[in-house]
A and B are shown apart, each in its own frame.
Chain A
Amino acid sequence: MIYARNLVKRFGDFTAVDGIDLEVAPGEAFGFLGPNGAGKSSTMRMIGCVSHPTSGELRILGMDPVGEGSKIRGRLGVCPQMDNLDPDLTVFENLTTYARYFGIPRAEGRRRAAELLEFVQLTEKAGSTVEPLSGGMKRRLSIARAMINEPDLVLLDEPTTGLDPQARHLLWERLFRLKQRGVTLVLTTHYMDEAEQLCDRLVVMDGGKIVAEGSPRHLIEAHSTREVVELRFGDETPASYVEKLAGIGERLDPLPDRLLLYSADGDAAVSEVHRRGFTPSSVLVRRSTLEDVFLILTGRTLVD
């Protein structure tokens, strides 16, 4: 579906995507996880054949995105990071006018529009203009619009950013259904729970480079410990405890508000902290997540 070798995108002197390699197979749900400015959208736009790579090799659906861009785009569904719906058209018209861009006959466009509105639960809003819709509804409409040409490959750039938890869960559930139908999904996100929920495989991007690759489970196993203990102390900064707790677990990461202690056995690590005579104001033992992987790999948190 997607094949990239040493893909580079520069804007002037600035290198937004710095030599990445990718391969996405049919039916896969593939994710780009990374903080702001990592180069996720720049990569997605190259895959979507709207931005030309500066250098490197890129093949989409076995075709060349520069020479055969229009043909490839006909088989892609794209939900951009920034919504570009027509605010003065109705929800329904947004879908039917977009269908025409793909050369879909009018009657067929109307049939698919009705079906997709059902799918994203916007049927009641079909006749409303887009302007007054909530952010979550607009996002759902963007996703429905991306499906109008029954694409082989769907590109979703931060599909759930800015949505409340309920709207996010609804979207996840819809995307999961697409995946079950065998649609290849490529999405970007800075939410690790989203990546864990939706992606079979993902890459962690930072500063235009891929810093890790694998399934969510594989990434956690390879880069983190099974459990993580979050310790908060009332008196001094978390950093000041790094030395005092040295040797407990496999790794200690001080954050501004808490100390992360990586250990295969969280409870044992907590006992050891108490044995050394420290009493944190709060203790949380949890399973390791992609967020931890990201922190370990880049020294930074994903979402500030």
Chain B
Amino acid sequence: MGGTFAVLERHLTLYRRLWQASVFSSFILPILFVVSIGIGVGGYVSDIGGVSYLAWIVPGVLASTAFQQAVGESTFSVLGDFKWVRGYHAMRATPVRIWDMVAGWLLYIVFRVLIGAVAFLAVSAFFGAIHSAWVVVTPLVCALLAVAVAAPTIAFSARIENDSYFAMLFRFVVIPSTLFAGVFFPVSQLPEALRVLAYLSPLWHAVELCRSATLGVAPPWPVWAHLGYLVLWAVGGSLLAYASYRRRLKD
């Protein structure tokens, strides 16, 4: 456990030095999004399920920001720590274990996503887009989503040699997920085949959980099923990450 927190502490120390670089993408961009789409586009779109379009997309943008942040942060930084900075090699020479490296990073991602989510919710509440006290659980849903997607992403980052794979990850995984996971429109609008893809995406489950919490309505699947699916990704992803880190640091 001590090792995990030591690793977390190193990432936080780095973040304290470099936080300015991510202010726009983690705080300002999601707020601009809500303001422009929710208020601008919302004027042309009728209510969905009895709530304003703004109130409807806020939980979607909340979860998709967590999603993008968790994936985005786990790409170049992690590859860099294997390849250029060799921060993981530095840890490897100490009592820190591979699990500490994986868990320390995931905790760091959770921290990043939590502060982003809380800031975003504060602004959304100001615009009157929060309809239920259940909103307090949404940062936790975002944290779980973050682990569910960051874990397989760091596994991927630990296996590649070249950062050009990240462009493909964004183009073929992150962007389509964001577009078709119920963030901007209900997945019921999608044809059957695409809907299955949405169900497979961890983002959709987090979006539905957040939406049911901010609007105070029941999610489409039982809560345990949504949560269980995210936990499955988190556990499976962490095991993959462990195996990839181990392999990368073997010799």
Residues of A in contact with B (beta carbons under 8 Å apart): 11, 45, 48, 50-52, 70-71, 73-74, 76, 78, 80, 82, 84-89, 93, 97-98, 100-103, 129, 149
* Cross-chain contact B95 with A100 (CB below 8 angstroms): no
Complex-state Cα separation, A277 to B5, whole angstroms: 76
* Cross-chain contact B90 with A84 (CB below 8 angstroms): yes
Complex-state Cα separation, A101 to B95, whole angstroms: 7
* Cross-chain contact A80 with B89 (CB below 8 angstroms): yes
* Cross-chain contact A71 with B9 (CB below 8 angstroms): no
- Looking at A51, A86, A102, the one whose CB has the most chain B CB atoms below 10 A away is A86
20 residue pairs bridging A and B, Cβ less than 8 Å apart: A45-B251, A50-B89, A70-B95, A70-B96, A70-B97, A71-B95, A73-B94, A73-B95, A74-B94, A78-B93, A84-B86, A86-B85, A86-B90, A88-B14, A97-B6, A97-B10, A98-B90, A101-B91, A103-B6, A103-B95
| Interface assignment of B36: CB less than 8 Å from any CB of chain A | no
Complex-state Cα separation, A85 to B93, whole angstroms: 12
The one of A70, A86, A87, A102 in contact with B10, judged by C-beta atoms closer than 8 angstroms, is: A86
Chain A: CB-nearest residue to B84: A87
Residues of B in contact with A (beta carbons under 8 Å apart): 2-3, 5-7, 9-10, 13-14, 17-18, 85-87, 89-97, 249-251
In the complex, what's the smallest C-beta–C-beta distance from B169 to chain A, in angstroms? 24
Complex-state Cα separation, A223 to B17, whole angstroms: 55
Q: A89-B17, A101-B6 are in contact. Are A50 and B249 (CB under 8 A)?
A: yes
* Cross-chain contact B85 with A87 (CB below 8 angstroms): yes
A71 to chain B: which residues have CB within 8 Å?
95
Q: A11-B251, A88-B18 are in contact. Are A101 and B96 (CB under 8 A)?
A: yes
Interface class of chain B by DSSP = helix
A-B contact count (CB 8 A): 69
Complex-state Cα separation, A85 to B9, whole angstroms: 16
Complex-state Cα separation, A50 to B85, whole angstroms: 17
A82 to chain B: which residues have CB within 8 Å?
86
* Cross-chain contact B94 with A84 (CB below 8 angstroms): no
* Cross-chain contact A102 with B93 (CB below 8 angstroms): no
Complex-state Cα separation, A76 to B14, whole angstroms: 25
B6 to chain A: which residues have CB within 8 Å?
97, 100-101, 103
Chain B: CB-nearest residue to A100: B6
The one of B14, B18, B94 in contact with A102, judged by C-beta atoms closer than 8 angstroms, is: B94
The one of A50, A52, A88, A129 in contact with B93, judged by C-beta atoms closer than 8 angstroms, is: A50
In the complex, what's the smallest C-beta–C-beta distance from B81 to chain A, in angstroms? 9
Chain A: CB-nearest residue to B96: A101
Complex-state Cα separation, A123 to B251, whole angstroms: 34
The one of A52, A74, A86, A97 in contact with B9, judged by C-beta atoms closer than 8 angstroms, is: A97
Complex-state Cα separation, A78 to B97, whole angstroms: 16
* Cross-chain contact A93 with B93 (CB below 8 angstroms): no
Complex-state Cα separation, A82 to B93, whole angstroms: 13
* Cross-chain contact A80 with B93 (CB below 8 angstroms): yes
* Cross-chain contact A51 with B13 (CB below 8 angstroms): no
Complex-state Cα separation, A62 to B18, whole angstroms: 43
Complex-state Cα separation, A98 to B89, whole angstroms: 12
Chain B: CB-nearest residue to A51: B251
A84 to chain B: which residues have CB within 8 Å?
85-87, 89-90
* Cross-chain contact B3 with A89 (CB below 8 angstroms): no
Complex-state Cα separation, A85 to B250, whole angstroms: 20
In the complex, what's the smallest C-beta–C-beta distance from B242 to chain A, in angstroms? 15
B89 to chain A: which residues have CB within 8 Å?
50, 80, 84
Q: A84-B86, A101-B6, A103-B2 are in contact. Are A93 and B13 (CB under 8 A)?
A: yes
Complex-state Cα separation, A290 to B251, whole angstroms: 30
Chain A: CB-nearest residue to B2: A103
List 13 additional A-B contacts (Cβ < 8 Å) besides A45-B251, A87-B85, A97-B6.
A50-B92, A50-B93, A51-B250, A70-B96, A71-B95, A84-B86, A86-B90, A93-B13, A98-B90, A101-B95, A102-B95, A103-B3, A103-B6
Q: A45-B251, A84-B85, A87-B85 are in contact. Are A100 and B93 (CB under 8 A)?
A: no
* Cross-chain contact B93 with A48 (CB below 8 angstroms): yes
The one of A80, A93, A101 in contact with B3, judged by C-beta atoms closer than 8 angstroms, is: A101
In the complex, what's the smallest C-beta–C-beta distance from A139 to chain B, in angstroms? 15
B9 to chain A: which residues have CB within 8 Å?
97, 100
Complex-state Cα separation, A87 to B6, whole angstroms: 18
Complex-state Cα separation, A103 to B91, whole angstroms: 12
A76 to chain B: which residues have CB within 8 Å?
93
A70 to chain B: which residues have CB within 8 Å?
95-97
Chain B: CB-nearest residue to A87: B85
Complex-state Cα separation, A221 to B13, whole angstroms: 54
Complex-state Cα separation, A84 to B81, whole angstroms: 9
The 9 A-B residue pairs whose C-beta atoms are closest, nearest first, are: A84-B86, A100-B6, A101-B94, A78-B93, A74-B95, A84-B90, A97-B10, A70-B95, A51-B251
